[in-house]
């Protein structure tokens, strides 16, 4: 029972970290695109 709980915990940790990473990546790409847009405007 404890091992199953541990597996679920690891699974949720992996899930949350991948979610955080994807959010950070999308924010980074947004910053890069806005940077390129302002760079092209000037």
pLDDT tens figures, 1-42: 677 888 999 999 999 999 999 999 999 999 988 888 777 666
Residue 42, pLDDT score: 60
Residue 14, pLDDT score: 94
Residue 1, pLDDT score: 63
User: Cα torsion at 1, 9, 7, 14 (round to 10°)?
Assistant: 170
Rounded CA separation 24/21 (Å): 5
The DSSP annotation for 1-42 comes to: -HHHHHHHHHHHHHHHHHHHHHHHHHHHHHHHHHHHHHHHH-
Rounded CA separation 42/40 (Å): 6
């Amino acid at each position: 029972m404890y091992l199953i709980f541990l597996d679920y915990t690891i699974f949720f940790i992996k899930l949350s970290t991948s979610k955080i990473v994807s959010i950070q990546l999308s924010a980074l790409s947004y910053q890069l695109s806005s940077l390129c847009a302002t760079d092209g405007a000037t």
